[in-house]
Structure 1
Amino acid sequence: MNITIGILIPFLGTTLGAACVLFMQNELRPRIQKALLGFASGVMVAASVWSLLIPSMEMVSDMGKLSFIPAAVGFAFGIGFLLLLDQLIPHLHMNDSRPEGIKSSLSKTTMLLLAVTLHNIPEGMAVGVAFAGALSENAALSAAGAFTLSIGIAIQNFPEGAIISMPLSAEGMGKKKAFMMGMLSGAVEPIGAALTILLAAFVRPLLPYFLSFAAGAMLYVVVEELIPEASEGEHSNIGTIGFAVGFLIMMILDVALG
């Protein structure tokens, strides 16, 4: 039951953020959107380092100076996996008019949802592999650390849910439908987490690789999508400040609670 709650926490964060469209009248101001994108980036970078890459190396500390190998290999495959999905899945970023991926006749709304789904896949994997590590009773990963990662991702999912649902409403979509779209964008996370836990149960020796794989996938999203969107145009320093705040909060949570 505790694991079920843990993998649902990020989805709750997305749902609460998407619900902002039901209570707020206006579209998010560009400055606020930049700050929230920067904040999400900071949380994901800190989570990738403290919750995924460092535990990946600690799990194979008996390899001595070669303990970086699982982290490096998994990280590279995580980057490559998201790069491949980015090239194949038709999707459209919120402030862009040109779709990415293979050509498709899908609607704009569907491609927007696919873009966010692509973004959320590594987050779900990260939560799943953290709980899988805690279940394996490895000293490098604890249940408290897994819950800390889940809470950290939920915190960054809150503004993310608002960033999705409110622009959809501003473009003419009904508030209830915009809320549902924002909420559904986070549904892939608990599904991805559950599948990762099931897979990891059969290949426990590969857990260090899974951890770094999730880190690589998350950092791909940060560098390819979040940071450019937070930095473009005027007031890019607001996104930088948001990044610093998100990074500090996630780092403190991981060290203090993990």
Structure 2
Amino acid sequence: MQLAVGLLLPFLGTTLGAACVFFMKGQMKPLVQKMLLGFASGVMVAASVWSLLIPAMDMSEEMGKYAFIPAAAGFLLGILFLLGMDRAVPHLHMGAECAEGPKCSLKKTTMLVLAVTLHNIPEGMAVGVVFAGMLSQNTEITVAGAFALSVGIAIQNFPEGAIISMPLKSEGTGKGKAFLYGMLSGAVEPVAAVITILLAGFITPVLPYLLSFAAGAMLYVVVEELIPEASEGEHSNIGTIGFAAGFVLMMILDVALG
């Protein structure tokens, strides 16, 4: 039961955020969007450091001064994985005119959803690998620590759900469809989490690599997409304030509950 709740919390955050389409009128204000993007970035950076990279190095302490190797290798592989996904999957970022990835005839709304779905894969992996560490009774990952990451990602998924559903509504998509697209963009998270847990069950010795792999994938999303979108145009300091708030909140959750 604990495992099911932990894996579904991030998806619930996305769903609740997408539901804003039923309650908010008009288009999301740019300042609010910048704040939310910055907040999501802060949560993901803090989660990558405290919940993923530091535990990965702690698990490898028997390697002595080479304990950084699993964390460094996994981190770089995570970056390369998301780089490959960016090139292989056609997707369109909010506010962009040209799609990324291979050319295709997909609808604009479909490519917008694919862009957010790509962002959510590493988050699902991060939750999955942390709960895999908890299930393996690894002393570096506690039940509270695993839930801290899950809650943190659920909180930052709330604005992500709103960021995908609200603009779709303003572009003419019906409220029901906009909500569905926003919700579906988060459905990949529990799926990625379950797959990661199943893999970790067979390859427990490489758990440090999986933790840092998820960290690398998450930070790729932050640096490649979220921070640039939060910083473009006027009032970029709002995104910075949001980043600080998200970072501090996730740090507090991880240290206090972990």
SS in 1 for 2:104: coil
SS in 2 for 1:186: helix
Structure 1 residue 42, shift from structure 2 partner = 0.1
State the identity %: 74
Task: Give the TM-score of the pair, scaled to structure 1.
Answer: 0.99
Could you list the runs of 5+ residues in structure 2 that have no partner in the other structure? Answer: none
Runs of 4+ aligned structure 1 residues displaced above 2 Å come to none
Structure 1 residue 150, shift from structure 2 partner = 0.3
Tell me the residue number matched to 1:110.
Answer: 110
Q: How many residues align?
A: 258
Structure 1 residue 109, shift from structure 2 partner = 1.1
Structure 1 residue 144, shift from structure 2 partner = 1.1
Q: Which amino acid aligns with 2:14?
A: T
The correspondence of residues 27-46 of structure 1 with structure 2, limited to 5 A, is: 27-46=27-46
**CA–CA distance in 2 between the matches of 1:28 and 1:64?**
50
SS in 1 for 2:14: helix
**CA–CA distance in 2 between the matches of 1:82 and 1:118?**
8
**CA–CA distance in 1 between the matches of 2:23 and 2:178?**
12
Tell me the residue number matched to 1:77.
Answer: 77
Q: Which amino acid aligns with 2:83?
A: L
**CA–CA distance in 2 between the matches of 1:187 and 1:86?**
19
Offset from partner CA, 1:169-213 (integer Å, 9 cap, x none) = 000000111011101110000000011001100000010000000
Tell me the residue number matched to 1:59.
Answer: 59
Structure 1 residue 224, shift from structure 2 partner = 0.1
Q: Which amino acid aligns with 1:164?
A: I
Structure 1 residue 159, shift from structure 2 partner = 0.7
Task: Give the TM-score of the pair, scaled to structure 2.
Answer: 0.99
Q: Which amino acid aligns with 2:248?
A: L
**CA–CA distance in 2 between the matches of 1:113 and 1:34?**
19
**CA–CA distance in 2 between the matches of 1:58 and 1:26?**
48
**CA–CA distance in 2 between the matches of 1:244 and 1:205?**
35
**CA–CA distance in 2 between the matches of 1:178 and 1:105?**
20
The correspondence of residues 144-159 of structure 1 with structure 2, limited to 5 A, is: 144-159=144-159
Q: Which amino acid aligns with 2:182?
A: G
Offset from partner CA, 1:23-80 (integer Å, 9 cap, x none) = 1112110000000000000000000000000000001111111100000000000000
Is 1:161–2:196 an aligned residue pair?
no
SS in 1 for 2:220: helix
Tell me the residue number matched to 1:120.
Answer: 120
**CA–CA distance in 2 between the matches of 1:94 and 1:212?**
28
**CA–CA distance in 2 between the matches of 1:176 and 1:22?**
8
**CA–CA distance in 2 between the matches of 1:26 and 1:140?**
46
Tell me the residue number matched to 1:18.
Answer: 18
What's the RMSD between the two structures over aligned residues? 0.5
Q: Which amino acid aligns with 1:54?
A: I
Is 1:201–2:222 an aligned residue pair?
no
SS in 2 for 1:187: helix
Could you list the runs of 5+ residues in structure 1 that have no partner in the other structure? Answer: none
**CA–CA distance in 2 between the matches of 1:160 and 1:84?**
22
Q: Which amino acid aligns with 2:213?
A: F
Offset from partner CA, 1:203-254 (integer Å, 9 cap, x none) = 0001000000000000000000000000000000000000000000000000
SS in 2 for 1:102: coil
**CA–CA distance in 2 between the matches of 1:20 and 1:8?**
19
**CA–CA distance in 2 between the matches of 1:144 and 1:64?**
27
